[in-house]
RNA sequence: CGGGACGUGGCGCAGUUUGGUAGCGCGCAGCGUUCGGGACGCUGAGGUCGCGGGUUCAAAUCCCGCCGUCCCGACCA
């Protein structure tokens, strides 16, 4: 490829709309252009890099026994209503109306396509397990697209779906995918972590996220200072603090605390630390009232509570609920909870005593609330939102919170989709059985952006070689010199023959521009052919990753470039 | 959806306060000189100043409405 004819317009200045590094550099280096908020056109360089990622993903999928298919993106709405995701996704789902006034959706993921597809073939248990995947566009009407390619409305994703006879089979298919995904990200060279995660709108049980570390990441994960523990903040379970002896207790005493419906106001009014107070958060769980107790400086992790009470849906009390069920909003305490209220205490509640908490009467709190003397706790669970400094569940070390970009997510789905969609196979005994499903997604475009976040410097991108748009660039340093030009073209041709994906910068611009663009675009290896070197019969080479420069003879240029490329990260 | 900022040739910006013939740098085209880390000179092309209304003799500039882009947030006992 000749750079003089490649559609790769580089920008000298940072585009004004780009804030984060990956966005800025992918625009500047000519990989993408923006069409509208959250929508990008991939230019030739972008297509090349993404295709390389795709191909690694395909190789690992194929090697794992998965089979590539291609599904439509414009989808009928009925299956989405059947699975409940029409409502669950809500505004996130792009809706389309066809000329016959039929409601369609643009697929945000394709369980609703692949499950009916497989179901319609009356498969025998003998043909399982089955794993089908595709690489395609996904549509999500994001609340706020941002950070360039990191959160977009149209994204390139590899999505795979496994179908098994039973749970054991599903788990085994899941493990195969987990291993394939690890190999993918090892090969891609991205610094990543696999964490236990929360299921979100895809749902199901066990699931893992592949997180690429990045300062701009929207997703938080926790990491222990010394043990090998990683988890999504929403799923992380800290080691509970040690319970303390519940003795030497002070008596329960009611205090006048006017206008203190919040912990902050209460702490200020009484001049005490927020952690001395006990919060009682009320939920409705299918008609049942659930009271959750956490120290005043902590928050309830609703996802954890949801999981705890699954499949009963939970909902935090709204204003009306307090009045209807006889609670004093802002002054709720656990004392004298009616028997039909389930009281769940976070483990951390056992590490405190003589609590300051609501008196169940407006403008009043109590001090010296203790269990079981003054209130009961039906069960102790982990229902707290994690915080920096909480203790690691493995070795008790301090947990710290890091930012990351979720680049892949895999799920065990069970029958969550096969049941509502009646996706069955014929079992050994001739009966119809529901598939046990798993689903496995890789954000291709996001992986590219995450890599750009991890691999760049002031001069530009520094791609790992497996996802660089080209392996090597041949820079013609003196375009006016016939000898230089012909030597460069000859080296370029030999590089191509040697199997390297090469590009020659034959543009009629100053050498400095070529050097800067080469650094900006991030070709792993640069070969510079110029008058200065040719006089000595040599060419110069540069490894972008390290900036390390070397020389080679004209005759040895191709071999040297090849070796340098092989040594590149 | 709430808050904030911005919208002027392809890119980055000035001009708006105080209305009076639309500018600068880069890029682009032509010619010449240059030629190993973003060269120089000369010439030139390219803009309904986001869109629509209004005020005015006159609007990029003032007023009203809309659209778009980016950033922050959407939460509590």
pLDDT tens-place string over residues A47-93: 999 999 999 999 999 999 999 999 999 999 999 999 988 888 888 89
Within a 10 A sphere around the Cβ of A460, how many other Cβ atoms? 21
Among chain A residues 393-452, those with CB within 7 Å of any atom of strand B: none
pLDDT tens-place string over residues A182-227: 999 999 999 888 887 766 656 567 888 898 888 777 777 787 887 6
> Distance between CA A56 and CA A460 in Å, rounded?
24
Task: Determine contact, residues A421/A95, Cβ cutoff 8 Å.
Answer: no
Q: What's the pTM value of the predicted model, to 2 decimals?
A: 0.83
To 5 degrees, how large is the angle CA A488–CA A492–CA A497? 150
Instruction: Tell if A305 CB is < 7 Å from nucleic strand B.
Output: no
Give chain B positions with protein CB within 7 A: 1, 6, 11-13, 25-28, 34-39, 68-74, 76-77
pLDDT at A297: 86
Note if the bond before A60 is cis, omega within 30 degrees: no
> Distance between CA A200 and CA A198 in Å, rounded?
6
Instruction: Tell if A147 CB is < 7 Å from nucleic strand B.
Output: yes
Gap from A273 CA to B71 C1', Å: 34
pLDDT at A286: 82
Note if the bond before A258 is cis, omega within 30 degrees: no
Gap from A34 CA to B15 C1', Å: 28
pLDDT at A67: 97
Gap from A62 CA to B2 C1', Å: 48
Instruction: Tell if A536 CB is < 7 Å from nucleic strand B.
Output: no
pLDDT at A201: 58
Looking at chain A, the number of H-run helices and the number of E-run strands are: 14, 31
| Alpha-carbon torsion (A520, A525, A527, A533), positive or negative | positive
**Chain centroid to CA A518: how far?**
31
N- to C-terminal Cα separation, chain A? 23
Gap from A155 CA to B70 C1', Å: 20
> Distance between CA A221 and CA A409 in Å, rounded?
14
Nearest nt to the CA of A330 via C1' is B77
pLDDT at A220: 77
Measure CA to C1' and name the residue nearest B1: A143
Instruction: Tell if A320 CB is < 7 Å from nucleic strand B.
Output: no
Flag residues of chain A having pLDDT under 50.
none
pLDDT tens-place string over residues A362-385: 899 999 999 888 999 999 998 888
Give the helix/strand (H/E) hosting A519: helix A511-521
pLDDT at A199: 60
> Distance between CA A475 and CA A525 in Å, rounded?
11
Gap from A23 CA to B61 C1', Å: 34
Residues 6+ apart with CB under 8 A from A471: A465, A500, A501, A502, A523, A524, A525, A565
Among chain A residues 338-367, those with CB within 7 Å of any atom of strand B: 358
Task: Determine contact, residues A517/A10, Cβ cutoff 8 Å.
Answer: yes
Quote the tokens at residue A306: 């949801």
Q: DSSP string spanning A260-284?
A: --SHHHHHHHHT--GGGBEEEEEEE
pLDDT at A202: 60
Instruction: Tell if A77 CB is < 7 Å from nucleic strand B.
Output: no
Nearest nt to the CA of A27 via C1' is B11
Nearest nt to the CA of A547 via C1' is B37
Instruction: Tell if A146 CB is < 7 Å from nucleic strand B.
Output: yes
Tokens 């499949």 correspond to what residue? A311
Gap from A477 CA to B40 C1', Å: 19
Instruction: Tell if A390 CB is < 7 Å from nucleic strand B.
Output: no
Instruction: Tell if A519 CB is < 7 Å from nucleic strand B.
Output: yes
Instruction: Tell if A298 CB is < 7 Å from nucleic strand B.
Output: no
Reference A15, options A33, A1, A3, A41; nearest CA is A33
> Distance between CA A541 and CA A548 in Å, rounded?
8
């Amino acid at each position: 490829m000749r750079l003089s004819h490649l559609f790769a317009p580089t920008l000298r200045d940072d585009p004004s709309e780009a804030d984060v590094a990956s966005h800025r550099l992918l625009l500047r280096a000519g990989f993408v252009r923006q069409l509208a908020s959250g929508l990008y056109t991939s230019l030739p360089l972008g297509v090349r890099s993404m295709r390389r990622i795709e191909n690694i993903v395909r190789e690992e999928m194929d090697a794992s026994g998965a089979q590539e298919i291609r599904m439509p993106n414009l989808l009928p709405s009925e299956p989405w209503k059947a699975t409940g995701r029409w409502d669950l996704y809500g505004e996130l789902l792009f809706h389309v109306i066809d000329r016959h006034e039929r409601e369609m959706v643009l697929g945000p993921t394709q369980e609703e396509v692949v499950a009916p597809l497989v179901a319609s073939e009356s498969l025998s248990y003998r043909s399982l397990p089955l794993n089908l995947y595709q690489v395609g566009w996904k549509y999500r009407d994001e609340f706020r697209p941002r950070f360039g390619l990191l959160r977009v409305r149209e994204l390139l994703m590899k999505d795979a779906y496994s179908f098994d006879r039973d749970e054991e089979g599903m788990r085994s298919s899941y493990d195969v995918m987990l291993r394939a995904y690890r190999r993918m990200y090892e090969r891609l060279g991205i610094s990543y972590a696999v964490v236990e995660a929360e299921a979100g709108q895809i749902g199901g049980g066990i699931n893992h996220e592949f997180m690429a570390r990045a300062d701009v990441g929207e997703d938080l994960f926790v990491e222990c200072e010394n043990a090998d523990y990683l988890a999504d903040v929403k799923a992380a379970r800290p080691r509970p603090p040690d319970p303390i002896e519940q003795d030497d207790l002070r008596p329960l005493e009611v205090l006048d605390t006017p206008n203190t419906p919040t912990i902050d106001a209460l702490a200020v009014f009484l001049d005490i630390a927020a952690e001395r107070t006990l919060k009682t958060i009320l939920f409705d769980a299918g008609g049942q009232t659930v009271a959750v107790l956490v120290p005043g400086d902590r928050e309830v992790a609703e996802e954890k509570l949801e999981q705890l009470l699954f499949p009963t849906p939970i909902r935090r009390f709204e204003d009306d609920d307090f009045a209807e069920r006889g609670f004093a909003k802002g002054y709720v305490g656990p004392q004298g909870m009616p028997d039909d209220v389930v009281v769940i205490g976070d483990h951390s509640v056992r590490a405190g005593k003589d609590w300051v908490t609501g008196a169940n009467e407006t403008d009043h709190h109590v001090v010296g609330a203790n269990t079981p003397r003054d209130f009961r706790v039906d069960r102790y669970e982990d229902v707290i939102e994690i915080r920096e400094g909480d203790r690691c569940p493995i070795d008790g070390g301090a947990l710290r919170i890091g930012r990351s970009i979720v680049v892949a997510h895999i799920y065990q789905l069970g029958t969550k989709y096969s049941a509502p969609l009646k996706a069955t196979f014929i079992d050994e005994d001739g009966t119809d059985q529901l598939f046990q499903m798993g689903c496995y997604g890789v954000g291709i475009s996001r992986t590219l952006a995450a890599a750009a976040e991890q691999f760049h410097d002031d001069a530009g991108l520094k791609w790992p070689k497996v996802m660089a748009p080209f392996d090597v660039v041949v820079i013609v340093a003196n375009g006016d010199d016939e000898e230089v030009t012909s030597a460069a073209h000859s080296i370029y041709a030999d590089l191509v023959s040697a199997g390297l994906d090469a590009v020659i910068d034959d543009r009629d611009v100053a050498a400095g521009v070529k050097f800067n663009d080469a650094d900006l675009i991030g070709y792993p290896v640069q070969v510079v052919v110029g008058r200065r070197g040719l006089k000595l019969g040599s060419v110069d080479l540069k490894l972008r990753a390290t900036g390390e420069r070397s020389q080679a003879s004209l005759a040895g240029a191709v071999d040297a470039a090849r070796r340098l490329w092989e040594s590149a990260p």
